[in-house]
Structure 1
C-alpha cells in the first residue's frame, strides 16, 4: 500500500511539474482572452507582425480581412502587464480616422477584427448613382426595419425644422440590396459605440502612457504599466485548489505556500513549494522549492531548488540548484549548480558548477567548473577545459583554448589562436639534438621537448617547461625578443630508467625573426643534474650525461628504511637553434 501511494504521489509531482504550465495557460486563454495581461515591445514593426507575435506568445487567434486592414503600417508600442483588450485599443487608436474605425470582439474563442466606415454616403455612392441623384447631399439616417420592405425613410436637418417628411424611393432592388450589404458590414449601433467609449475611458484610467522620443525615427512609443493585485498570503495545494483559486495567475503575493505545485502571478516576498513554484511574472524575494522554480519574468533575490531554477527574463540573484540553473537573458550574481549553469546572454558575477558553465555572450567575473564555455571573458576561467573567444584576464586549467587573450593562460596545453606558437630544432653540449614546441602567449607559454645524446651510450629525455618573452627592439615589427625558460627532463640511459635521473635547466634566450616563418636563437644555460642511478662501470652513483661540472656533490641518506645515495652536478652550457 505504501509503495502504491508513493507511486501515485510521484506521478502527480511529475505531471504538475512538466505538463502543468501549458495546461493552465490554455484554460486561462479560453476563459479570459481579452483580460489576460500582455507585455509587448515593438519598434517599427508592422501590424501583421504584431498580430503574429501576440498569437505565438499568448496563444491568441485573430481573424481579419487582409484587404481591409493596414497590415503593413509600422507601429511603435511598449506595454507592460496590460489587459489584451487595452493593448489592442492602443494599437488601433492611431490607425482610426474620420472615415474608418477599427473594432474587435471575441467570437468563439478568437478575436474578430473589422475596419468599419463612418460615412454611409461613400457606401451609397457605390450603388447605382442615377436612382439617388435627386437625394439631398446630407447625412442619411436609414431605418431598415424590414429587409423585405422596398422603401426607406430619410431624415435631414430640413426635415427636423419643417416636420418629418418621408421620401419614398423609387422601387429599386439593387439600391436596397446595396444598402443592406452596407449595413451588414457596418453593424454599428448606439450600444456598441457606448461600449467602445467606455473601454477607452477605462483603459485611460488603468494605463499610464509615456511618449518616448527617438532620434533615429522621431516616432512615439507607448509605455503602459499595470500592477497585479497584491495579496498578503496565499496557500495552494495544487493549482487551482488554493486561496486565490483559478485567478492566482493574476495575483502578486507577499507570502506564498504551495504544498505541491503553485501557479501565481508574481512574488514580492517569500515563496515555498513542496515540488514546483511557477510565476507568470516577476519574482522579488526568496523562492524555495523541492524540485523546480520557474519564473516567466525577472528574478531578484534568492532561489534554491532541488533540481532546477529556470528564468525566462534577466536575473539578479543568488541561485542554487541540485542540477541546473537556466537563465534565458542576462545574469548578475552568484550561480551554484550540481551539474550545469546556462545563461543565454551576459554574466556578471560567479558561475560554479560540478560539470559545466555556459555563457553564450560575455562573462565579467569567474567561471569555475570542469568545463567552462563563454564568448568573451573579463575575469578568470578555472577548470579542466576552458574555452572562450576573447579573454581579458586568465584561464587556469589543463586545456585552455581562446582566439586572443590579454593576460596569462596557465595550463598543460594552451592553444591561443592569435598567440605565440613555435617549433624549434636545436643542439647543445648535453642534447646533441633537441626538438621543442612552444605554445601560449608571449607573456607565458608552455614548452614540450625531447632530446637525445650520442656519447659512450645513447641517452634521451622527455621534458616540459615554462617560458616568457618580451621584445627588445622598438620597431613595429618587433623581430628580436629576449626571454627566460625553465625546463625539466627525465633522462633515460639507453633504456627506460625508473630511478631518479632529473635534468633541470634555466635558460636566457635571445631570438631573432629572420622572416615571417623562420627565426634563429641562442640560449646560455645553467644545468643541474640530480641522479640516483648506479654506474656499474666505475662503481659510482650518478649519470655521465654532464660533459663536465664545476660543482659536484654526492650524499647518502642515513635513514635505515630509505638508504639512498644521490649525486648532484652543476655546469654551464648553451643551446643554438632555428625556429619555425
Structure 2
C-alpha cells in the first residue's frame, strides 16, 4: 500500500509557536524608535531599524524581496508598528532573546494531500515537501510520526518515504524545517502503538534541547549531516522510551528519530546519539546526548552531553558537558564542563570547569577553574583558579589563585594568590596582599614586608638579612661574616619571624634562624641556631633600630677549623645540651631599612 501526500510549508523558524502579529508583549517589538528613510531597499531599512533598537533580525531569504524600495517615517513609534508599515501585514514577527524573527503571516499556511490508501498490516507513506509561496521543493526537511517515532529526511527534490508497521487507525505526519513553521497532516483515526509519551514545543510545559554538543569537533566527526539536519529541524520535539539500542548513531532501534528520544536504558555497541538519558547508558566507544543525563553514563571513549549530568559519568578518554554536573565524573584524560560542577571530578590529565566548582578535583596534570572554587584541588602539576578559592590546593609544581585564597595552598615549587587569607606552603610563595601565613624559602608579598636588616652579635660581627612577608609571618634570608685575622667565619641561613606590633613606633620581633658556619673547609657540619626577641623602634619612616637577647645553640666540632678561622664558636660560658651541642645566651643589635 502507498500513500502519496504533499506537505506545503511556509518560511518561519521551526522553534517558534504559531502566532501572528497579536503575540504577547515583547520587549524589542515594543521599543520606541525614530526612523526616516526614503527610497531605500527593505534590507537596508531593517538594518537601520535593528541598530536603532539594539537587536537583530532573523528571516529567510525567500520571505520577501530584499531589494524592494520602501519609504518609512516614524517618530517614537513601536518597532511592531514600523514593521506593519513596511510589510503591510504580510509578515508576522516573534521575539526570541536578542532576535526578532520575521516569518510569513499565519494565513499563508496550507496542507494539500495528494492521495491516500491503506491496508491492515502496514502503511508506506510517500510524498513531497514544498514551499507554498514559491512552489519549490524543500530539501533536508524532517517528516515524522510523533507517536510511532518513524520518520525520514527529504532529499533535494523534497521527496520522502516512511514505512509504518502495525494496524493503526490514525496517523499524524509532521513536517519540520529550520526557518519554517511546522505543518501536520492527519489521516486515519486512533493510533494504538506509541512510546511512553512525548512533548513538543507547543505543549504547555514545553521542552528545551541543547544542540551545542553537536557543534563540538568530535560530534561533527561521528554524526552524519542527515542526523544533524534532523536534530535542527525538530529541535522542539521530545519523546520518552524505556530502551534503545544502536550499533552506530545511524543504526539505532529508533532510527532517524534517535536524537529526539529520552531513554531509561541505552546500549550502544560503538556509539549512540540520543536526546537524553534518565537511567543507564553504556557504549563501547561513545555516547552523544543532546539533552540531560540522569543517573549513569559510561563510555569506553567519550561522553558528549549538551545538557547537564546528575549522577555518575565515566569515560575512558573524555567527558564533555555543555552545562553543569552534579555528581561524579571520571575520565582517563579530560573532564570538560562549561558551567557549574558540584561533586567529584577525577581525570588522568586535566579537569576543566568554566564556572563555579564545589567539591573535589583530582587530576594527573592540572585542574583548571576560571570561576570560584570551593573545595579541594589535587593535581600532579598545577591547580589554577581564576577567581576565589575557599578550600585546599595541593600540587606537585604550582598553585594559582588569581583572586582570593581562603584556605591552604601546598606545593613543591610555587604558590600564588592575589589576596592570601589562609596558609601557603611551598618553595616560593607569592601574593599581592597577605593577611595569612606563608611558609617557604621565598615569601614575597607585593604590598607587604620588603626589609633589609644590618646587624652584629656576639658571634658574627657583620650580618645582613632580607625579610619578606607580613607581620604575622615573614621569611628571613641571611648572610654574614666575622672579620678578624684569626677568627674568620662565613655564614648563610634562613629563618622566620613574627612582629608583635604595639603602635606605629614600637614593636617586638620574635625570630628563629638556622645558619651554616663555614670555617675553612666542608669536612664538618657546623650549624648555629638562634632564637631572638628584638625590641624595635621606628626612628622615622623607613628607619628602625632594634636590639635584644638571643639564645643560641651550636652543633659542631670544636678545633676543626682551618688556620685563620674561628677555632671555638661557642663561648666559654656555654653549657652542654647534649653530645656535640652547646647553648648560651647572647645579644644582637642593628638597623632595619624598609
Question: What's the TM-score bracket when you normalise by the shorter of the two chains?
Answer: 0.5 to 0.7
Cα distance in 1 for residues equivalent to 2:182 and 2:297: 40
* Greater C-alpha Rg: 1
Which segments of 5 or more consecutive residues in structure 2 lack a partner in the other structure?
1-10, 18-25, 30-40, 61-77, 95-99, 108-180, 185-199, 208-234, 261-274
Question: What's the offset of the Cα at 1:534?
Answer: 3.6
1:379 corresponds to which residue? 407
For 1:329 and 1:305, locate their aligned partners in 2 and report how far apart those are by CA, in whole Å. Answer: 19
The equivalent of 2:304 in structure 1 is 278
1:397 deviates by 1.0
Which secondary structure state, in structure 1, belongs to the residue aligned with residue 387 of structure 2?
strand
- The whole-number CA distance in structure 1 between the counterparts of 2:377 and 2:294 is 25
Equivalent residue for 1:410, pick from 425, 439, 445: 439
Asked whether 1:576 is paired with 2:590, we answer: yes
- Does residue 462 (structure 1) correspond to residue 492 (structure 2)? The answer is yes
What are the residue-to-residue correspondences of 1:19-30 with 2, within 5 Å?
none
Alpha-carbon distance in 1 for matches of 2:578, 2:240: 84
CA contact (8 A) 1:463 1:487 kept: yes
Say whether the 8 Å CA contact 2:521–2:562 is kept in structure 1.
no
1:242 aligns with 2:252: yes
Give, in angstroms, the shift of residue 96 of structure 1. 3.6
Structure-2 separation of matches of 1:554 and 1:269: 65
Match of 2:475 in 1: 446
> Structure 1 residues 197 and 260 mapped into 2: Cα distance closer, same or farther (>3 Å)?
closer
Q: What TM-score do you get using the length of structure 1 for normalisation?
A: 0.61
The CA distance in 2 between the partners of 1:432 and 1:234, in whole Å, is: 85
Which of 41, 65, 76 lines up with 2:43 in the alignment?
Answer: 65
Aligned residue for 2:529? 504
Deviations 1:296-335, CA, capped at 9 Å, x for gaps: 1221111111111111122222111111111122212111
| Residue matched to 1:528 | 553
Displacement after TM superposition at 1:574 (Å): 2.7
Does the 8 Å CA contact 1:508/1:524 hold for their aligned counterparts?
A: yes
Q: Which residue of 2 aligns with 1:551?
A: 575
What is the Cα deviation at residue 432 of structure 1?
0.8
**SS where residue 524 of structure 2 aligns?**
coil
- Alpha carbons 2:556, 2:581 under 8 Å: kept: yes
**Residue 518 of structure 1 contacts residue 578 of structure 1 at CA under 8 Å; is this kept in 2?**
yes
User: Contact 2:454 / 2:462 at 8 angstroms: preserved in 1?
Assistant: yes
Offset, 1:413: 0.9
* Residues 569 and 481 (structure 1), Cα distance of their counterparts in 2 relative to 1, 3 Å cut: closer
Q: 1:297 to 1:35 in 2, by over 3 A?
A: farther
TM-score normalised according to structure 2 size: 0.60
Counterpart secondary structure, 1:498: coil
> How far off is 1:438 after superposition?
0.7
Query: CA 1:313 to 1:553, structure 2 compared with 1: closer, same or farther past 3 Å?
Result: closer
Higher RCO (C-alpha under 8 Å, 6+ residues apart): 2
Partner deviation per Cα, 1:327-351 (whole Å, 9 max, x = no partner): 1222121111111111121111111
Structure 1 Cα separation of the partners of residues 328 and 236 of structure 2? 25
Distance 1:270 1:233, change over 3 A: farther
SS in 1 for 2:43: coil
CA drift at 1:414 = 0.6
The aligned runs of 1:230-269 (5 Å cut-off) are 230-250=240-260, 251-254=275-278, 255-265=280-290, 266-269=292-295
The structure-2 alpha-carbon separation of the partners of 1:282 and 1:444, relative to structure 1 and needing over 3 Å to count, comes to: same
Contact 1:236 1:259 in 2 (8 A): no
Per-residue Cα deviation, 1:231-260 (whole angstroms, up to 9, x for no partner): 443444432333444444442212222222
Alpha-carbon distance change, 242 to 480 in structure 1, aligned in 2, over 3 angstroms: farther
Q: 1:413 to 1:103 in 2, by over 3 A?
A: same
Of Structure 1 and Structure 2, which has the larger fraction of its residues in helix?
Answer: 1
The 1:312/1:537 distance shift into structure 2, 3 A limit, reads: closer
Q: Rate the CA distance shift 1:491–1:340 in 2: closer, same or farther, 3 A.
A: same
Aligned position for 2:228: none
| 1:162-561 equivalences in 2 (<5 Å) | 205-206=203-204, 228-250=238-260, 251-254=275-278, 255-265=280-290, 266-369=292-395, 370-375=397-402, 376-383=404-411, 384-455=413-484, 456-473=486-503, 478-493=504-519, 495-535=520-560, 543-552=567-576, 555=579
Q: Distance in 2 between matches of 1:340 and 1:389?
A: 20
- The 8 Å contact of residues 559 and 568 in structure 2, kept in 1 or not, is answered as no
Quote how far apart the aligned CAs of 1:196 are: 9.6
CA 1:294 to 1:252, structure 2 compared with 1: closer, same or farther past 3 Å? same
Q: C-alpha separation between the residues in 2 aligned to 1:336 and 1:33?
A: 48
Q: Is the 8 A contact 2:321 2:336 kept in 1?
A: yes
Shift of 1:74: 5.0
Check the 8 A contact 2:407/2:423 in 1, yes or no. Answer: yes
Residue 246 to residue 318, structure 1, CA distance change in 2 (3 Å)? farther
Tell me the distance in 1 between the aligned counterparts of 2:285 and 2:540: 71
Q: CA deviation at 1:472?
A: 1.4
Tell me the secondary structure at the aligned position of residue 72 of structure 1.
helix
Q: Deviations over 1:456-502 (max 9, x none)?
A: 231121121111002112xxxx2321121111121111x23331322
Q: Which runs of 5+ in 1 are unaligned?
A: 1-31, 39-43, 48-62, 78-83, 86-93, 106-110, 119-194, 210-224, 556-565
Secondary structure (helix, strand or coil) at the match of 1:67 reads helix
